[in-house]
Amino acid sequence: MTFEEFWKVYPRKSCKAVARATFNEITTKGKMTSTCGVKILARSTPEELVEAALAFRYKTNIVEETEQRFIPLAGTWLNQARYEDQDEDERKEMADKMRNLLQRMDKPRLSVVG
């Protein structure tokens, strides 16, 4: 998986260059960050970040119907290691639901002729 796959599913599209740099740092060597006053080495695989972004999109767009302006930029979400906020089982479940919705949206629709 690549950054472009992450970007495709993340719910807010702004400041792509910052998000790409942070994504690459987290998925290669790790990134020292401070979250809630605790310093951690944030490290994750691209697959984990894509799954977390799918789950976050489902939560913000479907469950909570969050206004776009209140959704953090991808770089902020990554820098603050917010992808670690969700329970693993809940994350997998929401990611699967979002994948299914996106797949249904991508399927061609039948047109009525006549």
pLDDT tens profile 62-81: 999 999 999 999 999 999 88
pTM: 0.85
Whether 71 maps to a domain, the answer reads: yes
Q: Tens of pLDDT along 92-113? A: 999 999 999 999 988 776 666 6
Whether 48 maps to a domain, the answer reads: yes
Phi-psi map region of 35: left, alpha, beta (phi>0 left; psi -120 to 50 alpha): beta
Whether 107 maps to a domain, the answer reads: no
Domain count, the chain: 1
pLDDT at 35 (0 to 100): 67
Q: Tens of pLDDT along 21-55? A: 999 999 998 888 776 777 878 889 999 999 999 99
Contacts of 69 (CB under 8 A, 6+ apart): none
Contacts of 107 (CB under 8 A, 6+ apart): none
Q: Which residue range(s) make up the domain with 91?
A: 3-99
